[in-house]
């Protein structure tokens, strides 16, 4: 338990940030799943459209510090490779 005033404030801020980051992380994962679902259905145009909406979400997550830039790049690269293989 936080004892000092500043430690209590930091605990409050950490909890708010944790909830916000979980929401953003969930959004990015949903975007990736939409691309994968479109790829598995075999619809190339839908996969490309889903990919175009997923890329900005991935980039925003990097800017917010939710995801490492290399992880986002890896996701984008693998999804794009699967789309091109259709």
Indicate if the pLDDT at residue 1 is higher than 80: no
Class of domain 5-85: mainly alpha
- Classify residue 53 by burial, with Cβ atoms within 10 Å: 0-12, 13-18, 19+: exposed
Parse the chain into domains and list their residue ranges: 5-85
pLDDT, tens only, 36-75:
999 999 999 999 999 999 999 999 999 999 999 999 999 9
Q: 68-83 as b/e, with b when 16 or more CB fall inside 10 Å?
A: eeeebeebbeebeebb
* pTM of the shown model: 0.84
Rounded distance between C-alpha atoms, residue 52 and residue 28, angstroms: 13
What integer pLDDT is reported at residue 2 of this predicted model? 77
pLDDT, tens only, 9-36:
999 999 999 999 999 999 999 999 999 9
């Amino acid at each position: 338990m936080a004892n000092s005033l500043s430690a209590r404030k930091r605990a409050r801020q950490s909890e708010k940030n944790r909830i916000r980051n979980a929401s953003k992380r969930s959004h990015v994962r949903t975007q990736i799943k939409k691309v994968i679902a479109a790829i598995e259905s075999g619809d190339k145009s839908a996969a490309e459209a889903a990919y175009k909406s997923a890329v900005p979400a991935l980039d925003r997550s990097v800017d917010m510090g939710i995801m490492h830039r290399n992880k986002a790049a890896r996701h984008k690269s693998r999804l794009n490779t699967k789309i091109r293989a259709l």
